[in-house]
Amino acid sequence: MKNNSSLWIAALTLTAIILGVVLLASPSRTAQANMLDSRPGFSMMTSGVQGNDEYLTIIDKAQQKMIVYNLVGNTLNPIAGYDLAKAMAPTPAPAK
């Protein structure tokens, strides 16, 4: 029984060493502040752009509207609103 547990300890130690080497050798990436949350009535997406600007986009599925907010400190400032029902409506064919 003691021999079997020594084998498992050696295998786990070797696995930990290999994972450590892989983590140290892998290139680092910058964090991205993108998040998507979707519920039956709405979808939310956060995004960050260069210059430390952060945006929150909310899509209301029932009313088919989208609002984009800019986050400044702890304040959300609405910067754009779109009526998706009008944007997605088919355009009539030109008269001949």
- Separation between Cα atoms, residue 34 and residue 49, nearest integer Å: 10
* Per-residue model confidence as pLDDT tens for the chain (96 residues): 467 788 888 888 999 998 888 888 877 655 455 667 777 888 888 877 666 778 888 888 888 888 888 887 778 888 888 887 777 777 777 777
> pTM of the predicted model, to two decimals?
0.50
Distances (CA, A) of 84 to 9, 39, 54: 59, 18, 23
